């Protein structure tokens, strides 16, 4: 009993609340809370209004749900290659893989040099700001737009797709690499400078060895992104590969069973790619 009374007195003295209180005081209603509530209410009203005024074109909701479920069932439970064989599908998948590999290779090599200049602890602050601002602008533009921009000069096809995807990959990897370099302990760089090491010696003896696992992780992540983008570019930019066959199966043939088969093939490759990346990362950690 004495211990409880002591705790109550301490609570009253230090915090202003008693142990008998069952609930904490609610946060006061301020301007920020009012703005959030008004925003949520406006979004709710707009959502209801949109569903109420949407032109459904005499579509019956129950029939539409049933048709969608039937399409999904046919696509994923009855997959079948009809207009191309499994070997041909694997060959087209290899083309898509080649597009992703080339764009990742070119992008990572160029981004590595630019990221060394963009890292604030390795470069001039003004140069770092200029490079980071430029790559931020490039990232803000979708990849498909860069592909279409370069298609004006190179024409629709794999060349424009590789250039446009590489352009976007560079901007992505510059940000990732430079942030990895900036996490390096400043004391290490200062110690190397004090011992007379030049800029290249600092890069090859301290920066790259300590960041190699991060660089490989970011590169593999970008490779996975480029593979997905290459599938889309096969249809949007005429780059070929498995994306073009999926486009033909969905828009020209309208064969949902073939779409399902292609989807499973892409999914299987994506899983294999993820497992390969995990094994490489694991070996790097062991050797590190």
Q: Give the list of residues 6+ apart from residue 11 with CB closer than 8 angstroms, or none.
A: 17, 18, 19
The token pair that represents 268 in the structure block: 């299987």
Q: Give the list of residues 6+ apart from residue 263 with CB closer than 8 angstroms, or none.
A: 75, 76, 79, 246
Q: Is the Cα torsion angle 128, 129, 130, 133 positive or negative in sign?
A: positive
Same domain, 94 and 161: yes
Domain total in the chain:
2
Same domain, 218 and 123: yes
pLDDT digits (tens, 9 = 90+) for 197-206: 888 888 888 8
The token pair that represents 266 in the structure block: 């892409």
Question: Is residue 20 assigned to a domain?
Answer: yes
At 107 the pLDDT is: 93
Whether the predicted pLDDT of 16 surpasses 60:
no
Task: Write down the residue that tokens 């439970």 correspond to.
Answer: 77
At 5 the pLDDT is: 53
Which CATH number do you get for residue 226?
1.10.3720.10
Q: Select from 230, 219, 241 the least CA-distant residue to 106.
A: 219
Question: Is residue 78 assigned to a domain?
Answer: no
Same domain, 47 and 92: no
Residue 261: pLDDT band by 50, 70, 90 thresholds? very high
Same domain, 49 and 169: no
Residue 171 has a CB neighbour count (10 Å cut-off) of 22
Question: Which structural domain range is residue 23 located in?
Answer: 2-53
- Is the whole-model pTM more than 0.85? no
Taking the C-alpha atoms of residue 230 and residue 240, their distance in angstroms, rounded to an integer, is 9
At 20 the pLDDT is: 47
pLDDT digits (tens, 9 = 90+) for 62-109: 888 888 899 999 998 989 888 888 999 999 999 899 989 999 999 999
Residue 240: pLDDT band by 50, 70, 90 thresholds? confident
Same domain, 174 and 252: yes
């Amino acid at each position: 009993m004495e211990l409880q009374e002591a705790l109550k007195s301490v609570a009253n003295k230090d915090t202003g609340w008693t142990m008998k209180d069952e609930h904490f005081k609610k946060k006061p209603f301020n301007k920020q809370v009012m703005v959030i509530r008004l925003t949520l209410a406006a979004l709710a009203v707009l959502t209801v209004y949109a569903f109420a005024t949407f032109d459904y074109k005499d579509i019956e909701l129950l029939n539409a749900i049933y048709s969608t479920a039937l399409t999904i069932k046919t696509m994923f439970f009855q997959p079948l290659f009809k207009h191309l064989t499994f070997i041909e599908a694997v060959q087209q998948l290899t083309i898509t893989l080649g597009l992703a590999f080339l764009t990742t290779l070119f992008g990572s090599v160029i981004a590595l040099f630019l990221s060394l200049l963009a890292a604030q602890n390795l470069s001039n602050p003004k140069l770092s700001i200029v490079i980071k601002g430029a790559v931020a602008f490039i990232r803000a533009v979708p990849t498909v737009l860069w592909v279409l921009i370069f298609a004006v000069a190179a024409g629709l096809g794999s060349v424009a797709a590789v250039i446009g995807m590489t352009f976007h990959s560079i901007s992505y990897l510059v940000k990732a690499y430079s942030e990895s370099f900036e996490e390096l302990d400043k004391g290490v760089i200062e110690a190397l400078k004090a011992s007379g090491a030049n800029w290249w010696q600092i890069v090859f003896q301290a920066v790259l060895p300590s960041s190699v696992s991060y660089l490989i992780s970011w590169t593999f992540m970008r490779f996975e992104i480029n593979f997905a983008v290459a599938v889309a570019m096969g249809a949007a930019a005429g780059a070929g590969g498995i994306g073009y066959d999926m486009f033909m199966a969905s828009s020209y043939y309208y064969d949902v069973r073939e779409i399902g088969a292609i989807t499973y093939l892409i999914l299987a490759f994506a899983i294999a790619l993820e497992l390969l990346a995990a094994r490489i990362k694991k070996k790097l950690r062991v050797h590190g």
